Chains A and B, each alone.
Chain A
Amino acid sequence: MPKQEPFERVRNFDEVALGYPPAVAREEAGRCLACKKPGCVAGCPVGVDIPGFVGRVADGDFAAAVRTVKQANALPAICGRVCPQEEQCERSCVLGKKGDPVAVGRLERFVADWEAKEGAADAPPLPPLNRFRVAVVGSGPAGITVAADLATLGYEVTVFEALHEAGGVLTYGIPEFRLPKAIVRREVAYVRSLGVALRLDYVVGKTRTVDRLLEDHDAVFVAAGAGLPWFLGVPGENLNGVWSANEYLTRCNLMRGYRFPATDTPLRRAGRVAVFGGGNVAMDSARTALRLGADEVRIVYRRSRDELPARLEEVENAEEEGIIFDYLTLPVRLIGDDRGRLAEIECLRMELGEPDASGRRRPVPVAGSEFRMPMDASICAIGNSPNPLVPMTTPGLEVGKGGTIVADEENGRTSRDRVWAGGDVVTGAATVISAMGAGRRAARSIHRALAGAGGGEVA
C-alpha cells in the first residue's frame, strides 16, 4: 500500500498510509481463493463475511462489498486501519502459508473509504421502535457497536460519553496520522443515523450513577474503557515533563494541541523525548513527538525487538521515521533540574533470562549497568487500568484484579441484574476489534434478555 515518504510525513499529521487505488484493490481481491471453509471469517472477532466482500471487490461491485462488510461491522474504516489483521483474519488465510495472505484489512479500508467518497450506502431500513430503552456508557468501539446493533433491532439507545467528543480511544488516543478523526466522526455519524442518541460531557458515575440510569432504562451496557494510566513507580515521576501517554495523546488528539497556539490547550514541544513501553501506544506517542518537532525520540523498552507488543507495521513505520529503539533498557530513576523539570533519565541494561508466564523471555537487570541520558520529556506508555468511576459508584458490581469489571466473556453479563459490560473496562487495555466483538456478543445477550424468547438474531 502506498505510504507518505518518511522524510515528508514526520513533518505533518496527515495519514501515513494512503490506501489502495481501485485497480490495485481489485487485483489484490482477485487473489482470494474463496475457500469453502474460510479460516479468515473464523479469525475475525465480529465474523465479517470476508470472502463475500472480497469477491465483490474483485468484481468491482464496491457498493455491494460495503453492504456485506457493514452487515457485521459498523466501523469498517476504523477496523481496516487499526485491527491487528496479521493475528486474526490474515493469519488464517491459506495463501499466507506460501506467500502473502490476502490483505483483508487494506481491502476493508478500501471499501469503507470508497463509500465515504461516493456517499453510497444508506443506513439499513430500521424496524419500528420496540418498547425497550438501553443506556450505553462510553462511545468507544464497544459502546458504538452495542448501540448500532441494538438500534438496528429497534431499541431506543442513548450513548453517554464523558468527554466532549465521541469515539473514546479512537478520538483521544489514536493519532490523526494513523486514524484521521474525520473518519471517526463519519462512523459515529453513521451510528447516529441509526437513531442512536448521543449525550456528550455526561460522566456516568458522576452526572448520573448506573443505578439512576436503570430507573429509566431497561439495560445498561458499561464500556467505559481502560483510561486510568499506569506510571512506572520510579523516583522522579512527578517531575514536569513526565507525562502519561494518555495526557500527551489527549492533548494532541482530542484537544488538537498539535495546532497550539491556534487551539487553546498547550502541548510542550520537547527536544529530546523518551517513551517508555513497546506497544502501539508507545509507537503513537513517539511518532507524535517526532511530528511535534523533537530532535531525538527514543523508545525505551525492557525487552528486545521480538517481544514488542506493537504491531510490526507500526514498529516499521517508527523505525523508518527515525525513532531510536533502546532495547533491553529499564528506566529506574528520573532526575530533575532545580525547577522540578525532567533533565535526565537513569536506566539499567537488561538481558533476557528464562521465559515468564507470558511465554516471553523475562528481562533481568545487569548489575552495575546504570547509565544516564539527558532528556527533556518522557512519556509513560506502559498500560492503563479501567476507569474507576463506574465501579466506584455502582454497589454490587463485581470488580476483578486491576479494577476490571467482571463480565461473562460469552455474553457480557455482570454481577448486577440488567447491567452488561464489555471492551477494555472488562479485559484491560486490548484491541479495538476485540472490544467490538464483546459489544456484538453483549448486544445479542441484551436482546435475548429483553425481547425474551421471541427475540430474533442480531444481524
Chain B
Amino acid sequence: MPRVVEQAMVVPNIHRLTLEAPEVADAARPGNFIIVRAAEDGERVPLTLADWDPKAGTVTSMFVQVGASTGRLARLGAGDEIPTCAGPLGNATEIGRFGTVLLVGGCYGIGSITPIADALARAGNSVVALVEARSSYLLYGEDRLRDLGARVIVVTRDGSQGHKGHVTRLTEVLEREALRPDRVIAHGCTFQMMQVSEQTRPLGIKTIVSMNPIMIDGTGMCGVCRVTVGGETKFACVDGPEFDGHEVDWEEFLARREGYADEELEPLHRSGCASRF
C-alpha cells in the first residue's frame, strides 16, 4: 500500500500530500492527476500532480480540505499507508514553444502549474506565473516558481500583496504589466478558470483550463466527469482534463460540480462538524 511521506497544511486549508508511488512517479507528466483513497470504503479523490521525483519514487499533490474525504486526507501523517494511489491519469499538458505563456494558479492550482512552468521554461518559453489568493497569508510556492525561471505576478483580493483584486480583473493586470501572452493555462477553482477564459476570449489568446469535475474511476468508465466542449460531450478523465477554456460550457459545468452537493454534506452532519449548514 502506498505510504505517506508527508502530509502538511501549507497555508490555511491547503495541504500538501506526498506519497510513495514509484511507478506513478516514473510515468508522471505535467498536467496529470492521481486518484487516491484515504481509507477502505473511502471515496476515490482525484488530485492534480504538483510534483514528483522518479528517483525517490514519490508524487506530490496539493489539495483543499472541503469535505469528508479531503478531511480524511488532511488527517494523514508521515508513515501512514493509504489503500489507493493510481495514476498518472489524464492527458499531459501540451508542451511546445509557444512564446510567452501565462500560467494562472489559484489554491491547489498554484501547485499544479509548477511542473508545467518547469516544462515550458525548459522548452524555451518565457513563463509568467500569476498566482492569486484571497490574502497574502494564503499564498505559497512563489519562490519555487521563480527558481524555475518564471516571472511571478501576485494578485490578492485584499491587496495585502501584489495587485489588489481578483482574476476578474485579469485584463487590467495584463495591461499594467504590459503582458501579451501567446497562451494562457489556468488551474484552480472553476470560477477562476471560467473568469480567465471569459477575459482572454475578447483578446483572442488561446486559453487552456484543467477541468476538475466529480470523478469516480478516472479511467473513462463512469462518465460522471462529462464536460461539454465545443458542443460535444467529453470525459475529463480520458479526453482531458485540459480543454480549450473558450469552448467549455461553463454554466453546465458549474451545475454538474454540484451534482452531489446535498449528499456530500451528509457525512459532515453526522460527524458533528459543519452542524450549522
Chain A interface residues (CB < 8 Å from chain B): 162-164, 172, 200-203, 206-208, 227-229, 231, 237-241, 243-244, 246-247, 250-251, 255-256, 259-268, 339-341, 387-389, 392
B216 touches A265 (CB 8 A): yes
Bound-complex Cα distance A247 to B264 (A): 16
- Shortest CB-to-CB span from A181 to chain B, Å, is 13
- Given A231-B233, A266-B260, A266-B264, verify A387-B219 contact (CB < 8 Å): yes
Bound-complex Cα distance A162 to B35 (A): 11
B89 adjacent to chain A (CB < 8 Å): yes
- In the complex, which residues of chain A have a beta carbon less than 8 angstroms from the beta carbon of B255? 239-240, 339-341
- In the complex, which residues of chain B have a beta carbon less than 8 angstroms from the beta carbon of A163? 217, 219
Residue from B42, B89, B270 in contact with A203 in the complex, judged by beta carbons closer than 8 Å: B89
- Shortest CB-to-CB span from A249 to chain B, Å, is 9
B266 adjacent to chain A (CB < 8 Å): yes
Of the candidate stretches B78-86, B148-156, B170-178, B192-200, the one touching chain A is: B78-86
- Shortest CB-to-CB span from B218 to chain A, Å, is 8
Q: Mark B203-243, 1 if CB is under 8 A from A, else 0.
A: 00000000000001101111110101000010100100000
B263 adjacent to chain A (CB < 8 Å): yes
A389 touches B238 (CB 8 A): yes
Q: Which of B35, B72, B251 has the most CB of A within 10 A?
A: B35
- In the complex, which residues of chain A have a beta carbon less than 8 angstroms from the beta carbon of B69? 264
Bound-complex Cα distance A231 to B258 (A): 21
Chain B interface residues (CB < 8 Å from chain A): 23-24, 27, 35, 37, 39, 41-44, 68-69, 72, 83-89, 216-217, 219-224, 226, 228, 233, 235, 238, 251-252, 255-256, 258-260, 263-264, 266-267, 270
A-B contact count (CB 8 A): 128
- Given A238-B228, A266-B263, A339-B255, verify A162-B86 contact (CB < 8 Å): yes
Q: Which of A162, A202, A266 has the most CB of B within 10 A?
A: A266
A256 touches B252 (CB 8 A): no
- In the complex, which residues of chain B have a beta carbon less than 8 angstroms from the beta carbon of A259? 41
- Given A247-B216, A389-B219, verify A238-B256 contact (CB < 8 Å): yes
Closest residue of B by beta carbon distance from A200:
B84
- Given A203-B86, A208-B27, A228-B221, verify A251-B216 contact (CB < 8 Å): yes
- In the complex, which residues of chain A have a beta carbon less than 8 angstroms from the beta carbon of B220? 227-228, 387-389
- Shortest CB-to-CB span from B86 to chain A, Å, is 4
Bound-complex Cα distance A237 to B226 (A): 10
A164 touches B266 (CB 8 A): no
Residue from B23, B68, B224 in contact with A264 in the complex, judged by beta carbons closer than 8 Å: B68
- Shortest CB-to-CB span from B23 to chain A, Å, is 5
Residue from A164, A228, A238, A250 in contact with B84 in the complex, judged by beta carbons closer than 8 Å: A164
- Shortest CB-to-CB span from B70 to chain A, Å, is 11
Bound-complex Cα distance A202 to B256 (A): 28
A250 touches B217 (CB 8 A): yes
Closest residue of A by beta carbon distance from B24:
A207
- Given A164-B37, A340-B252, verify A246-B222 contact (CB < 8 Å): yes
Q: Which of B42, B87, B224, B266 has the most CB of A within 10 A?
A: B224
Bound-complex Cα distance A237 to B69 (A): 28
Residue from A228, A246, A264 in contact with B41 in the complex, judged by beta carbons closer than 8 Å: A264
- Shortest CB-to-CB span from B211 to chain A, Å, is 13
B43 touches A265 (CB 8 A): yes
- In the complex, which residues of chain B have a beta carbon less than 8 angstroms from the beta carbon of A268? 260, 263
B27 touches A206 (CB 8 A): yes
A263 touches B223 (CB 8 A): no
- In the complex, which residues of chain B have a beta carbon less than 8 angstroms from the beta carbon of A201? 35, 84-86
Residue from A208, A255, A262, A339 in contact with B216 in the complex, judged by beta carbons closer than 8 Å: A255
A229 touches B222 (CB 8 A): yes
Bound-complex Cα distance A267 to B252 (A): 21
Bound-complex Cα distance A162 to B216 (A): 12
A266 touches B266 (CB 8 A): yes
- In the complex, which residues of chain B have a beta carbon less than 8 angstroms from the beta carbon of A237? 233
**Sample of 16 A–B contacts (CB below 8 Å):** A172-B221, A202-B86, A203-B219, A206-B27, A208-B23, A227-B220, A229-B221, A238-B228, A240-B255, A246-B221, A247-B222, A251-B216, A256-B41, A263-B41, A340-B251, A340-B255
B23 touches A207 (CB 8 A): yes
- Shortest CB-to-CB span from B223 to chain A, Å, is 4
